[in-house]
Amino acid sequence: MSRNLLQDMVKIKTPQRMPIKERPMKTERERIPIKLKQNNKSPNKGSKYRIYFVALISVIFLLFALSFLFSGAKITIVPKVKEIPLNNENLSAAKDSSTPGLPFDLVVISGEENKTIQGGVVKDIAVTATGTILIYNSYSSSSQVLAIDTRLEGSNGKIYKTSKKITVPGMTKDGKPGSIEVGIYAAGSGEEYNSTPLDFKILGFQGTPKYSKFYGRSKGDITGGFKGKSSIISALDKTTAVSELKATLETKLLKKATDQIPSGFILFKDAIFLSIDDQNVSFTPDKDNTTLVNVKGTLYGFLFDEKKLTTKIAQDIIDNYDGSEIYMPNIRDLTFSLSDKENISFADVKSISFSLSGTPRIIWRVDEAKFTADLLNKKKDDFNQILSQYPNIDTAVLVIRPFWKTTFPDKSKNIQIIVNYPK
C-alpha cells in the first residue's frame, strides 16, 4: 500500500508538460504569390515593350494606308491676265449673222407717254389726227419705195398720208410678207379722223395687181384730231412738256429692253437710241381749257454676242493672238460710240460702224480637262515641261500626296485643278 501511495505522490509532483503552440504553417496558397512576385518582374516589363511595339507598327500602318486613301494631286492655277487700253478702236458689225465678221441684233421697243397741261389762250384751232401703221408687201420679193405723203385709205373711208419716205421690204423666201413701220397723219383736221385701229389700202396702186397685195394696219389708235375753240399753250410749255415726256418714255423703254436681254449678250448704255419724229408728238386741245400732250417713240438698241465681241476685240488689240478662249469681266464698262448716227435709218439698218474706248481686262481661260489628261501617270519632274505648253497659265502650284510619290495619279478624279479666276 505504501508503495502505491509513493507512486501516486510521485505522479502528483511530476510537472505537467505544457502544450507547445505550434506556429501555423503557411499554406501553399499564401506562399506562391510571394514566389511569383519575386520571379515575374522581368517578364512584365517585356510584355509592356511588346505592346508599345505593336501599337507603333499599327499607327505606322494606319498612316501608310491613309496616305494612299487620300493620295492625289492638287494644282492651284493663276491664269494669264492683261489690261490693254482701247482708244476709239474702230469696229464694224452686220445684222446678217451669216456673213463673216461681227454680227449684231437690233432691239426694237415702242411706247408712248402723255400728260395734260392747263391754261393757254382760247382760240379757234384745227388739229390733224396722227397714228402709226405697218405697211406689208405680199406682192413680190422685191422691195417697194413709197414717197412721203403717200395717200392711204382707211377702212373708215378717211384718207391719211405717210409722214416720211419708206422702203417696204419684199417677201421672204418662205413667203412671209415684208413689212415696215411708218407714221401717218390725217388728210383733214377734226375729231372725225380719230379712230380705233384701221386697215389701209394704198390709193396710188388702185387698178393694179399691187392694190390687193400692199396693205396697212394700225398699231394702236389714231388720235389727236380736233376742230373748234380751245386753249393754245405757249411754245415754252410745249417744249418743257415734250422734254419731260421723252425722258420718262426713254426710261420706261430702256427698262423693258434691259429686261429682255438674253444671257450672254451685251447692250451698251451708249448703244441705245430713242427715235421720236415730230409726227409722233401731238397736242390735243380740249374744251375745258386743257391740252393733252402725247409723245410716241421707238427705242432701238444694238445687241452684241459677248463671246464674239470679246474675240473680235482680242483679234484687233492682242499681238499674235492665237484664238485662245478669253473673257473680259469689265467689257460692259467700255464706251460705245456709233458712227454717222444722224444718217442711220434704225428701222431698216443692215450694218453699222462704231468705236469702243476704255481699258478691258483680258483673262485667259484654262482648259482644265485637257490639262488633267496631260498630267495622268506622268512623272512629277515632267510638270514644268507640261506647264510650258499652256501659255494661258501664269503660275501654278503643285502638291502631290503622299509626299514621297514621284508620279501623278492615273485617274483624272484624283487630280484636282483649281483656277483662281479674277473677279
Grouping H, G, I as helix, E, B as strand and the rest as coil, residue 70 is coil
Residues of the chain whose pLDDT is less than 50?
A: 1-15, 20, 27-29, 32, 34-41
Q: H helices then E strands: how many in the chain?
A: 8, 23
| Each residue's pLDDT tens digit, 155-179 | 999 999 999 999 999 999 888 999 9
HSE-up (13 A, CA, CB side) for residue 81: 15
Q: What is the pLDDT of residue 13?
A: 46
Q: CA 137, CA 48: separation in Å to the nearest integer?
A: 104
- Tell how far CA 72 is from the center of its chain: 34
Tell me, what's the pLDDT at 121?
A: 72
Q: Residue 226: beta bridge partners? A: 127
Q: Grid coordinates representing 401? A: 500626296
**pLDDT of the residue at 69:** 53
- Nearest Cα neighbor of 222 from 253, 248, 183, 250 is 183
Q: Estimate to the nearest angstrom the gap between the alpha carbon of 299 and the chain centroid.
A: 23
pLDDT at 32: 47
How far, in Å, CA of 337 to CA of 196, rounded? 40
Decide: 364 and 390 in contact? Cβ < 8 Å: no
For the record, the C-alpha cell of 418 comes out as 483649281
- Tell me how far apart the alpha carbons of residues 344 and 351 are, in angstroms, rounded to a whole number: 10
Strands (E) located in 71-169: 72-79, 81-83, 86-94, 105-118, 121-137, 144-146, 151-154, 159-162, 166-168
Q: Residue 306: helix, strand or coil by DSSP?
A: helix
Give the cell for residue 4. Answer: 502505491
What's the confidence (pLDDT) of residue 404? 85
C-alpha cell at 227: 376742230
Rounded CA separation 140/76 (Å): 63
CA–CA dist 60, 305 (Å, integer): 59
Is 106 in a helix, a strand, or coil? strand
Paired strand residues for 354 = 91, 338
C-alpha 313, offset from chain centre: 20
